[in-house]
A and B are shown apart, each in its own frame.
Chain A
Amino acid sequence: MIARLRQSIPAYLFLLPWLIGIIGLTIGPMLLSLYYSFTDYALLNTPEWQGLHNYTALFHDSRYLQSLKVTFIYVGVSVPLEMAFALAVAVLLNRGLKGLAVYRALYYVPSLLGGSVAIALLWQQIFGSDGLLNDVLGLFGIHGRGWISEPGTALWTLIVLRVWQFGAPMVIFLAGLRQIPDEVLEAAEVDGAGRWQRFWRVTLPLLSPVVFFNLVLQIIGAFQAFTPAFVISGGKGGPSDSTLFYTLYLYQQAFGNFKMGYAAAMAWVLLLIVAVFTGLNFVLGRAWVFYGDEGVRR
């Protein structure tokens, strides 16, 4: 027993930095935030216990409901679009293109830059009323509008921004496509399957675990989107709360209005929402995700 413990000491020692990190920087703060979510905590005072009040207050807060709505639209529209785009480009790039590495890098660049403040500012320039987009539209005689300054269109510019960052899932799709054995596709071709049939009946099912992986990651990421809305709307979520993302409202409550307890409650509800969506993905995934070895069992 002692000898075994002695043996594992080096292992624990090596683990120690990570353990300190996860306890000090993740688990500790999470537990603290769970506690704060049941308190009235204005950052500068000591937290006062008030039970479930923050949680019940959420559903009487019209701006909170607005932030939910904005976030759901954003996730629901941008994630499928981004995935479709990523897959389409990955399939195109998979066809032994000359200079593939260059294209791959080019398409991947937006993913690296997309979350940055600079790109959000660039977006502001493009979609402003005297921005690039309206200049281009002007060439065709179309009179543009202030895309980010009108509540009807502001959220859509942010959706376009996310779709533009399709590079990360694209690279993963590309890797997945490379895993599909040529023999399978050739066999399908010999059997008389056309290009589309091969894609739908062979490529996509074999790729489904990768699609699933991307979907789960992208949904989680989209729920947590913050920077672009923060920068483009100057931290307000405007115009007229049309880009009031969940995380943005959380941030406003915590640091703008000193309602840390309320914000903590929001964070836990968001965790719950993301958990439900991820769980749902796994349940639904059983119906369409195909792992190679399952074929053997059937």
Chain B
Amino acid sequence: MTTLSRRTLLGLGAATAAAITIPGCSGKSGPMRVSWYGPDPVTKALNKALDAWKSSGGAEYTAESAPFNDYWDKLATRTSGGNAPDVLRMSMSYFSDYAGRSALKDLSSSGIDTSGLDKGVADSGLIDGKNYGVGQSSISYAMYVDEAAVKKAGATVPAQGWTWDKFAEFARDYSGAIQGSYGSTDQAGNFQLFEVYARQHGTELFSDDGGKLATSKDTVQEWFQYWAELRKAKAAPAQNVSAETTAIEKSLVAKGKAPLQFGWVQQVTFYQPVVKNPLSVLPVPQGTAGDLKGQFVKGLDLWSISSASKHPEDAAKLIGFLLNDEKAIKAIGILLGVPPSKKARDLVAADAGSAGARAIKYVEDIQALVGPSPKPWPKGYGELLTGFGRIAENIGFGKSDPAKGAQEFVDLAGKTLGQ
């Protein structure tokens, strides 16, 4: 046997040390990490659901949460550093950015039980036949109406839906009847409501491959024009008023200065606590009254697993648990959206008088009437979302006009999509 010199021994030691530390660099497999975005109620609910996971013998985990905007900054840096959380809440706004750059794991054979989920929701994470995320909720766009305020003004809001023209008429009359109030909030910069409007004009917002804007420049211009006229008639607030109403508690509906608010259906539960009267949940205005084909029901928030996850089995089990376990379903309620399965909806809807129950009923009522759900939003959607709002704001402040703004948006889309 050869004797080892001091030098070889040292070298060997160094090599072993390197061998041990290098895998450690790429994220030592501690407990599985779970992360999500959302306001405080969402965090409380998910923590409760995770407690249920632990007490039913689930694997160890650590949890982290952040507000929507901060979440994406953090996730982007962590993912690029090879340090993404194992289970993560993924929004459709960024889904294609992550899935398209292979940051998410294909869940097709992960064994997550999605049999109870609504069809449009179970498939929401499908890109090119691979499933990068499971829908955690069924959501649709909606209008929340303070009907008591509307009644006081001597008006009504039709439950079956109304046209954009009728809506404008209502907004004008309401603003005229109640001093210091606006019949509508300004939705010019609301890209998600615009998607419904675009579909009412006969096209999807994006082409099927996500590489192009499918709606026309004219439709964009018409939209900006519509809201510009409402602002001019003082039926919608001036831009500087809207600029201060971004937080829920500062919204016009919370301050009693507007009788209605637009948003994703589950957000009614965020608004209800700050509004005195019960809010009813109704469809958004239409091209033809009662024709809800512009709207859709879809899973817009997904549970995904990072492609670099060291705990893919546990992660899949946890997602299955959050979707199907009774205790988890009850803990989450409708804070992530209307639950994506009939079983979950029945469990949650018990409290019939609540805003949550009205949201669930809304989704069930319109499900058969809405149009097909659009493909996942394309790469670059996040940039278009903020860009659309910014362009609308420039028009509102008189720095641009609907025609120029529409052109600007079409240019932005051309630059951003399909990259």
Instruction: Point out residues on A near B: beta carbons under 8 Å.
Output: 42-45, 128-129, 145-146, 149-151, 234-236, 238-241, 255-258, 260
Query: B370-395 vs A: 1/0 string, CB under 8 Å?
Result: 00000000001011001000100110
- Once the chains bind, are A256 and B386 in contact (CB under 8 Å)? yes
Chain B residues lying within 8 Å of A240, measured Cβ to Cβ, are 390, 393-394, 397, 399
Q: Are A234 and B76 in contact (CB under 8 A)?
A: no
- The residue that A255 contacts in the complex, of B72, B240, B244, with Cβ under 8 A, is B72
Q: How far is the CB of A298 from chain B (nearest CB, A)?
A: 55
A42–B393 touching, CB < 8 Å: no
How many angstroms from the CA of A123 to the CA of B196 in the assembled complex?
37
Given contacts A151-B399, A240-B393, A257-B382, contact A44 B103 (CB under 8 A): yes
How far apart sit A241 and B390, CA to CA, in the bound complex (Å)? 8
**Smallest CB gap from A145: residue in B:** B240
Q: Give the distance in Å from the alpha carbon of A235 to the alpha carbon of B73 in the complex.
A: 11
Q: Is the CB of A45 within 8 A of B243?
A: no
B386 and A236: CB pair below 8 A?
yes
Question: Nearest A residue to B101 by beta-carbon distance?
Answer: A44
Within 8 Å CB of A44, what residues of B?
Answer: 76, 79-80, 97-98, 101-103
Tell me, yes or no, whether B248 is within 8 Å of chain A by CB: no
Q: Tell me the bound Cα distance from A232 to B380 in angstroms.
A: 25
Residues of B close to A128: CB separation below 8 A: 244
| B241 at the A interface (CB under 8 A) | yes
**A146 to B77, Cβ gap below 8 A?**
no
Kindly provide the distance from the CB of A61 to the nearest chain B CB, expressed in whole angstroms.
Answer: 10
If the complex has contacts A128-B244, A145-B240, are A236 and B390 also in contact, measured as CB distance less than 8 A? yes
CA of A249 to CA of B380 in the docked complex: distance in angstroms?
17
**Beta-carbon contact of A239 and B243 below 8 Å:** yes
Assess whether B55 is interfacial by the CB under 8 Å rule. Answer: no
Q: A238-B393, A240-B393 are in contact. Are A42 and B101 (CB under 8 A)?
A: yes
Do B243 and A258 touch across chains, with their CB atoms under 8 A apart? no
User: In residues 60-108 of chain B, which contact A (Cβ within 8 Å)?
Assistant: 69, 72-73, 76-77, 79-80, 97-98, 101-103
Instruction: Say yes or no: B383 contacts A257, CB within 8 Å.
Output: yes
Q: Is the CB of A255 within 8 A of B390?
A: no
Q: Which B residues are in CB contact (< 8 Å) with A150?
A: 240, 243, 397
CA distance A44 to B102 in the complex (A): 8
Given contacts A150-B397, A256-B383, 17 further A-B contacts (CB under 8 A): A42-B101, A43-B77, A44-B98, A44-B102, A129-B244, A145-B240, A149-B244, A150-B240, A234-B246, A236-B386, A236-B390, A238-B243, A240-B390, A240-B393, A241-B394, A255-B73, A258-B76
Whether, in the assembled complex, B239 has its beta carbon less than 8 Å from a beta carbon of chain A, the answer is yes
Q: Which residues of A contact B399 (CB under 8 A)?
A: 151, 240
Within the complex, what minimum Cβ distance (angstroms) separates A17 from chain B?
19
Residue from B73, B76, B394 with most neighbouring chain A CB atoms (10 Å): B76
B243 close to A255 (CB less than 8 A): no
Q: Contact partner of B239 among A234, A236, A239, CB < 8 A?
A: A239
Chain B residue at smallest Cβ distance from A63: B390
* Nearest chain B CB to A246 CB, angstrom units: 17
> What would be 14 A-B contacts, judged by CB atoms less than 8 Å apart?
A43-B79, A44-B97, A128-B244, A129-B240, A145-B240, A146-B243, A149-B241, A150-B397, A151-B397, A239-B239, A240-B390, A255-B72, A255-B76, A256-B386
Which residues of chain B have C-beta atoms less than 8 A from A257's C-beta?
A: 380, 382-383
Contacts A42-B101, A149-B240, A149-B244 given; does A255 touch B397 at CB 8 Å: no
| Residues of the B chain whose Cβ atoms lie less than 8 Å from the Cβ of A260 | 80
**Closest partner residue, chain B, to A253 (CB atom):** B383
